[in-house]
Amino acid sequence: MVQLVLKQINSIGESLISLVNGLGDFTLFVSRTIFWTFKPPYRVKLLFDQIYFMGNKSIFIIFLTSVFTGAVFAMQIYLGIKAINPDSFIGPIVTIALAKELAPVLSGLVVAGRCGAAMAAQIGSMKVTEQIDALEVMGINGYQYLAVPRILGAMISMPLLSAIFLLVGYTGAWLIATKVLMIDPTLYTQKISDFMNLGMVVEGLIKAAVFGYLIGVIGTYQGFNVTGGAEGVGKGTNMAVVWGMITVLVIDYFLTTFLAQIL
């Protein structure tokens, strides 16, 4: 019995130590990337390459996700509250939800899945094939060359993708509301301008930038921490996606609370 309890305590202790080690390691990684962000040379081409990869190459999937999110959301709101004459509410509810929550969060989940995984896989495979060591031997800092452009690229791309998500989602909802549910288009847009303000859009864009930063940091951190061979790369990629998505959802709550007070 005593042995069993001791084993349990030991196991909890080991988990705690591992958690603290992991947090320390992650904090060190973040501080290093911040340090190297401000150190020359500034690799603008690499940054634009990353913005192109994360932004431009994600547009199609963002388009698909957003148009159907807007359409389905409009339909669901209508079906949910049709007993109380919903024509005046659908526009503002869908658009505010898109601007403040759905656009940044769903864009974040898409980017975490697509780009977070790619970052971890690219950097992880470079690590196991000694390509990062090759950079270091040449005198090039791996964090500066590989992590910084990806983190900044994600931070810049995410608000752009989120804005596209909002516009396309709005269009999808508008089409369903006015062409399928036969809501008066003037009333639809009029009510949106009554209830919405610029602060709501800004809130969504700030969230998107923060999510982009976090997805970038998590994806690159997992890449740099890959050990072993192909199996390690797979594990790192998986961790980047899982932690990226969890972080977006958890941080969203705290950001919403925080931004509600300042905006």
Say whether residue 40 binds another protein (CB under 8 A). no
Instruction: Give the Cα separation of 120 and 125 in Å (integer).
Output: 8
Span of 23-31, 122-130, 188-196, 197-205 interacting with another protein by CB under 8 A? 122-130
Please give the backbone phi and psi of residue 59, each rounded to the nearest 5 degrees, phi first: -60, -45
Say whether residue 25 binds another protein (CB under 8 A). no
Say whether residue 134 binds another protein (CB under 8 A). yes
Instruction: Give the Cα separation of 135 and 74 in Å (integer).
Output: 51
Least CB distance from residue 128 to another protein, whole Å? 10
Contacts of residue 195, defined as CB under 8 A and 6 or more positions apart, other chains included, come to 92, 96
Choose between 44 and 137: whose C-beta lies nearer to another protein: 137
Least CB distance from residue 138 to another protein, whole Å? 5
Choose between 139 and 257: whose C-beta lies nearer to another protein: 139
- Cα-atom radius of gyration of the chain, to the nearest Å? 22
Count Cβ atoms below 10 Å from residue 22 Cβ, excluding itself: 12
Task: Report the alpha-carbon angle 125-245-71, nearest 5.
Answer: 120
Span of 102-110, 134-142, 198-206, 230-238 interacting with another protein by CB under 8 A? 134-142
Span of 60-68, 94-102, 126-134, 200-208 interacting with another protein by CB under 8 A? 126-134
Say whether residue 139 binds another protein (CB under 8 A). yes
Say whether residue 140 binds another protein (CB under 8 A). yes
- Decide if 248 contacts 108 (C-beta within 8 A): yes
- Decide if 228 contacts 128 (C-beta within 8 A): yes
Say whether residue 88 binds another protein (CB under 8 A). no
* Binding residues for another protein (CB under 8 A): 125-126, 129-131, 133-134, 136-141
